[in-house]
Each structure stands twice: as C-alpha cells, then as structure tokens.
Amino acid sequence: MTDLGALGSQFFVGLSRAMILFVVCSGLSFVLGVLRVPNIAHGSLYMIGAFSAYSITKLVAGPAGFWLALILAPFVVALVSLVAERALFCHLYQREHLMLLLFTFALSLILGDLVKIIWGAEYKSIMAPEVFNGSVSLLGASIPRYNFFLLIVGPLVAVGLWFFTNKTKMGKIARAAAVDREMVGAVGINVSWVFAFAFVLGCFLAGLGGALVAPTVSITLGMDHNLIIEAFLIVTIGGLGNMWGAMVGSLIFGLSQAFGVLFWPQFAIVFPYMAVVIVLLWRPTGMLKSVW
Amino acid sequence: MVQRILSLRRGILLVLMFAVLSFVIMSAPAEARNIKVGIIDCYSGPAAVYGNDALNGFKLALEEINKEGVLGGKIEFTTRDTKFKVDIGLNLAKELVMRENVDVLVGTINSGVALAVSDAVSKKEKVPFIVWISKDEKITGAAGHRYVFSTADNTAQGGKAGGVGLAKKPYKKYWIAGDDYSYGHAIADSAWKNLKALKPDVEKVGESWWKIGEPDLVPYFTSIISAKPDAVILCTGGASMTNAMKALKSTGMAAKIPSWIHTAIDHAVLKPLGAEAPEGVLGTIQYLFYYPETPENKAFVDAFQKAYGNPPGFPAFNAYLTAQYIADGFRKAGKIDKEKFVDALEGLKVKNPVGGTVEMRACDHQAVFPIYFGVTKKLPKYDFVVASDITTLKGSDVLPTCEEIKQSRQK
C-alpha cells in the first residue's frame, strides 16, 4: 500500500508538469485554432525562450535576473515570431496542411541551427532564486517549491487567455477569424494583422513555457523536439484548437505520467501514451470540441 | 621503309612513356606521405559538446605529434557530422574509407553508430577503428574484433567501478533508475552484478526507467523518495544528467538518499550548474582536470585552456590518447599499413596526459586507465562544485577480465 504522502506528492508534481505543458500547448492550440497552422517550430520557440532566459540571467545577476528573464524572454520569442510571421508565414496561410507541416519543420531545423550559432552546443543551466530552494509540505506530501510556483502560474495563464479571447475585442475577432476568416475580412477588419497578432501571442506562450521550464532542466539543443511531440499529442487529445482542451490534455498527460511512475515505475514511459491511445479510441476528435 | 622507321619511333616513344609512367607510379609509395584519419562524430544537437571536446583534445595532441612527424609525414584528419544518427554515420564512414581512403577511422559518441561502423565498415573493409567516446561495453566486448579499439571507458568498467565503490559503503536497500536505452541499462546491469558479487546481502527494492531526454525527472524522484531506499543507482548521461542533478537538488533527494551516477563528477555536468549543483552525489570518471595534481596534468590543462578557452573534459582525454596511439602505432609498425598498425597497437603503451602510461590491452583492444570514485562537494577554491574524497580504482580492477571477454565473444 502506497502511503498518502507519496500519492499526494505525485499528484502535485504531475500537476505542476501539466502546467508547463499547458502554457506551451495553449499557444500551439491557439495558433492551430485561429490560423490552422500546425506549427512544428513552436518547440523551437520554446527552446529560444529557455535560451533567452539563460542570457538574461547572465546579464542581470541575482534573483532580479530570474524575474526579468521570466518577463522578457517571452517578448524576445514574440519578436522572433513576429519577424517570421511577417516575412514567411503570412504568405503561406492558404497552403495545404502538408505544405505547412513541411515548412514549419524546416523552420524548426533552421531555428535549431540558429540557436547553436548564437548560444553554442554546451548545456546551459539557470537557477531559480533562493526563495524556491527546498520543498513545501502539503497534506503530507513534499513538493519542490518551484513546482508549487508553477501550480500558481498555470491557472493564471489560463484565466488570462480566457479573458483575452472572451472579453477583449481583439480576442473576439481572433475567435471569429478562426470560424470564418472571409466573413471577418468582409466586415472590414484587417485579417492579416489579426493573424499576425494571434500567431505572436501563441509564440509568446511558447517562450513563456521555455522561460518557466528553464530552471528545472538543462537548457540544450534538442529540447524542442522532445517537447513538440508531446505538445501535438496533448492538443490532439484535448481537441484541436480548443484552449480548455489543451488544459485537459496537459492534465491527462502530466498526471498519467506521475502516477505511472509511482505504480509501475519500470514501464512509466508508456503511461501518458497509453492515455493518449485510450482517449483517441474513446473520443477520436479529442476530449473537448475541436474547432477544425 | 620510312613508315617502318616512323612506327619504330612511335613504338620507342610508347615504351618510353610507359617506363616514365610506371616509374612515377612505382616511386609513389616509397615517398613519405601523410597519415589520413577520418573522424565521424556528432557535431550537432546536444551531443555536440562532447564531440567538440574530443576534437579539441585530438587537435592539441596532433600539434605536438606533427612537430616531430610520423614516418616522415604528418597526421591529417577530416571530420564528418553523424548528427547522432546510425544510418548517416554508417554512410559517412563508408565514404571516408572508399573515397577519402583514410588509414584509420575514429569516432564517435553514439554507441549505435560505433557498433554499426565497427561491424559493417571496420570489420568488413579491414580498416582500424578507434572508438573514443561511446561507452557500450559490446564495442570491445561481445562485438569486438581484430580492427576495433577503444580509448573510452565503457559501461562494464563504469558499472564495475560503481559496484566496487558502493560495496565499500554501508547501504543495503537499493533502487535502480535511469534512461531507458542501451547505455542506462548496461550501466545498471554492470553496477548491480558487481555490487551483488562483492556484497551479496544487498537488496533491490525497485526500478524506474524514463525515456531518453525526459525533461522532468521530479515525479520519478519523489516516488523514489517515498519508497525510502538506502541508496540509488542512477543510470543517466548526456543532457539528462543536468536534469537529474537539478531534480536531485530540488526534490531534496540529494540530502536524503545517497545516489551514485557514473560521470556525475564530470566537469561538463557540474560546470553549467555552477555553485548550485547538489552536494553528496557519488560519481565515477576517468579524467578530472584538477586531479591528480601532477605537473603533466597541469601542463596538459594549461595548453588546452590556452587553445580552447576551457579546461579539457574526459572526451579530450580519450582523444588525446587516441592521437598518441595513432602516432606511436604507425611508428612501431614502421610503415603505413593497416594490418601492421593493428598488430602494433596490441599491448602498446602511450603517454598518459596526467602522467604515466596507458596500455592498449591486447586481448580486447581496450585502453586501460584508472577510474576515479568521488563525491560532489563545494570547495572555496572553485566557483563550481567539484569531486572530492577521491579514491583511485586501478584500471585492471574495474575492467572485465580477458577471460570474461573471451566468454562473451563465444556466446
């Protein structure tokens, strides 16, 4: 019998992993929903977010550097994505999905090489500030403080995104464009800039995810491709383009992994993927309504 | 008549031309030529940091070697990037052998590439192949053959060093965890087999395995902590190594449960973590730039630091040895001949950059060097965490015996 403390810590740790996945996947899902672009380069932007966070903490020492990195790194990524959108993506929205897949895959390779040229091939690492050292005891479970922090950030991002898409004019236009882009154009809205904004916002979330994950992992080339497969699985099981779907998918993925590790550690790897298979057999279009 | 003279002249001319041509062709091998080394390794992606370190160590050694020359010529090299992929590595190795006519193949970090090249190129085309980073024990063990050599430590050796080191500790209940691919499992098997042999009362309470490159090890570690083992054998490497060290610290596992990780005390692992690396993690490695503090090691580190801006890691050490083996091997062989070179390498002793010599064991073509067993610790001298309380395990004590190698090859 596994004791309650172990169950609790697996639950919270799984939940905190799900929060990082959610931040990245909500961005991917948003771009998928509004622009219909399956953006494989999303993982590369997440990687750039982590590397930018590293550079910022090198420039500004101490805890201030970390907080600054958390705020500025996503904007660096947003800037990169804005350039990519205006120079490349905006000409390609009408192409078929296979073309877009190939194009974004190529872009991910280019961005990967760019990261190597700028930051080199060595592993980088940043440290969370002093306040996050040690762990928090919660209901008999001990959770690393940083993971606890992630539990707070995740819901904040979710609420922020919900507020943006439902309560602001820009968000409403973006949602409308997702349903019928011609109609939005017909009422005199500059669809091109709506798309650019939506794309940059999605990529901003990738950058935020990268900055958030940076203190917990080694920042390295290849972290993009590790993530992007999981991210696509998550948006698929959640429902393509559905923001709450990204949340549900992330929770399924993160929690099935954490509990798999506890109950059947030798085969923990298969648990999240088994969860994906079960969800897709049961609901082929994902848990929540897909916008596609 | 005139025509006959003409055709005679033409005949003489042809004979002369033939003579000149054959003279040119015949005389070529007698002239000194450069030794061509073909390097296949990974220069992109996360493994590039190791590939570049090895290449720098090799270049540094060549600078010295080429001042003196080998058999009247120099050692030159060309590199190819395998991108960590077996099929690419295999094609590049073939290209180096068939088109570039390299005399020796060298590489690589990926065990899969090393084993494939060893079997399909080195063994088949009879080209000497010196493996310098990848640690699969099969390379010079079960899959070893006449043409393959290794200057890298291997999983049998790393695991045995861990087993020997851990057997001296009082721990009884062990948990085993690691990367779910050949390297992780090979280290785990070797460490556990040797530990169990030296200390039969140890007990395995559980295992967990994660996929290679798994970004978040925290759930794995929290579940290990709740199982309360005495110690953990952690079998991870490369980029996952930093993740493991961070998770060891953030979950508080480093302070609660001692873990042993092969290469945990590697500078490439500890440096990016700075002063924040966890203390108390046990590790093993064959090269440390700050230990032993011999004049030879100091000179090697200074030269390396000056040339490349950072101290050498273990791949640089392995590659430095590799260059010495190529130079001294051909010198001993007396000519650029692959078969003679292979014969010359067997039992050959070359200069160890930390002092003393390193022997290429004749029975399995494995370079024999000591392994250091230590624990991570913050010292005021450095702004990063280093290995301390180091014990040196003799090379011959931590390698499988020639008898064991023979048995594994018969299977």
pLDDT tens digits for range B107-145: 899 888 999 999 999 999 999 999 999 988 899 999 999
Those residues whose C-beta lies under 8 Å from the C-beta of residue B261, and which sit 6 or more positions away, are B234, B235, B236, B241, B244, B281, B282, B283
Strand pairing class (B259-262; B231-235): parallel
| A222 vs B207, B213, B216: nearest CB | B213
**Domain annotation covers residue B22:** no
The angle at the Cα of B194, spanning B153 to B369, to the nearest 5 degrees, equals 25
Are B137 and B156 in contact, with CB atoms under 8 Å apart?
yes
- Residue B26 falls within a domain, yes or no? no
Name A182's Cβ contacts closer than 8 Å, sequence gap at least 6.
none
- On whether both B145 and B162 belong to a single domain, the answer is no
Boundaries of domain holding B109: 35-153+293-369
Is A263 a domain residue?
no
Torsion of CA A215, A218, A219, A224, to 10 degrees: -110
Do B199 and B229 lie in one domain? The reply is yes
> When comparing pLDDT for B79 and B273, which is higher?
B79
* B381 and B364 within one domain: no
Domain assignment of residue A278, yes or no? no
Q: Are residues B375 and B393 in the same domain?
A: yes
Q: Give the residue from A127, A132, A217, A151 showing the smallest Cα distance to A8.
A: A151
Domain for residue B196, yes or no? Answer: yes
Examine residue A228 and state whether it is found in any structural domain, yes or no: no
Q: What is the dihedral of CA A257, A45, A119, A108, to 10 degrees?
A: 90
Amino acid identity, position A257: Q
Instruction: Read off φ and ψ for residue B137, nearest 5 degrees.
Output: -65, -20
Per-residue pLDDT reduced to its tens digit, B75-101: 999 999 998 889 999 999 999 999 999
Q: Would the pLDDT of A2 be above 70?
A: no
Interchain contact, B243 vs A218, CB within 8 Å: yes
Q: Which residue has the tokens 């310098």?
A: B132
| CA atoms of A114 and A161, how far apart (whole Å) | 30
In a domain, B18, yes or no: no
Q: Is residue A170 part of a domain?
A: yes
Of B146, B148, B83, B84, give the one whose Cα is nearest residue B115: B148
B381 assigned to some structural domain: yes
ipTM comes to 0.71
Query: Is it the case that residue A41 has pLDDT exceeding 50?
Result: yes
Interface of A with B in 56-85 (CB under 8 A): none
Residues B375, B277 within the same domain:
yes
Question: Does residue A60 have a pLDDT over 60?
Answer: yes
Q: Token pair 């190939």 is at which residue?
A: A102
Q: What is the mean pLDDT of chain A?
A: 88
Residues B114 and B172 in one domain: no
Residue B16 in any domain: the answer is no
User: What pLDDT is stored for residue A270 in this prediction?
Assistant: 85
SS3 B75: strand
In a domain, B253, yes or no: yes
* Cβ–Cβ < 8 Å for B359, B367: yes
The domain tally of chain A equals 1
How far is Cα A226 from Cα A130, in angstroms, rounded to an integer?
29
Please indicate whether, in this complex, the C-beta atoms of B48 and A121 are within 8 angstroms of each other. yes
Disruptive mutation site among B226, B269, B270 for chain A (greatest number of A CBs within 10 Å): B226
Who has greater pLDDT, A223 or B32? A223
Q: What is the pLDDT of residues B21-53, one digit of tens each?
A: 554 444 444 457 899 999 999 987 777 888 999
Neighbours of B164 (CB within 10 A): 22
B224 and B359 part of one domain: no
Q: How far apart are CA A220 and CA A189, in angstroms?
A: 41
Mean of pLDDT values over A16-24 = 93
- Residue-wise pLDDT tens digits, B170-229: 999 999 999 888 788 989 999 999 999 999 999 999 999 988 778 788 889 988 988 899
Q: What is the pLDDT of residues B294-348, one digit of tens each?
A: 999 999 999 999 999 989 999 999 999 999 999 999 999 999 999 999 999 999 9
**Cβ-based contacts of B272 with chain A (< 8 Å):** 122-125, 218
Identify the pLDDT of residue B32: 78
* Token pair recorded at residue B62: 């060549």
Considering only residues 160 to 189 of chain A, which have any Cβ-Cβ distance to chain B shorter than 8 Å? none
pLDDT band at A289 (very low <50, low <70, confident <90, very high): confident
- pLDDT given at position A267: 78
Based on the fold, state whether residues B77 and B118 are members of the same structural domain.
yes
Poorest-confidence range of A20-29, A123-132, B347-356?
A123-132
Say whether residue A147 is in contact with chain B using an 8 A CB cutoff.
yes
Q: Do B239 and A220 touch (CB under 8 A)?
A: yes
Which of B242, B241, B192, B250 lies closest to B221 in space, CA to CA? B250
Mean pLDDT of all residues in B372-378: 92
Range of the domain at A195: 22-221
Interface of A with B in 221-280 (CB under 8 A): 221-223, 226-227, 257-258, 261-262, 265-269
Sorted by sequence, the CB contacts under 8 Å of residue A11 that are 6+ apart come out as: A141, A255, A258, A259
Residues B279 and B135 in one domain: no
pLDDT of residue B29: 47
Convert the pLDDT of each residue in A74-96 to its tens digit. Answer: 999 999 999 999 999 888 888 88
Statement to judge: residues B391 and B256 lie in one domain? yes
CB contact (8 A) between residue A221 and residue B251: no
Position B274 in a domain:
yes
Q: What is the pLDDT of residue B13?
A: 55
Is the domain of B77 the same as that of B119?
A: yes
Domain count, chain B: 2
Buried b (16+ CB within 10 A) or exposed e, B172-181: eebbbbbbbb
Chain B residue closest in CA terms to A264: B208
Which of A217, A269, A271 has the most B C-beta neighbours within 10 Å, making it the best mutation to test the interface with B? A217
Question: Are B281 and B226 members of one domain?
Answer: yes
Give the closest-approach CA distance of B380 to chain A in angstroms. Answer: 20
- Cα dist from B64 to A202, B189, B352, B358, B359, whole Å: 54, 40, 14, 18, 20
Cβ atoms within 10 A of the Cβ of B329, count? Answer: 25
Contact B272 A125 (CB under 8 A): yes
Indicate which CATH number applies to the domain containing B394: 3.40.50.2300
- In the three-class reduction of DSSP (H, G, I as helix; E, B as strand; rest coil), residue B181 is classed as coil
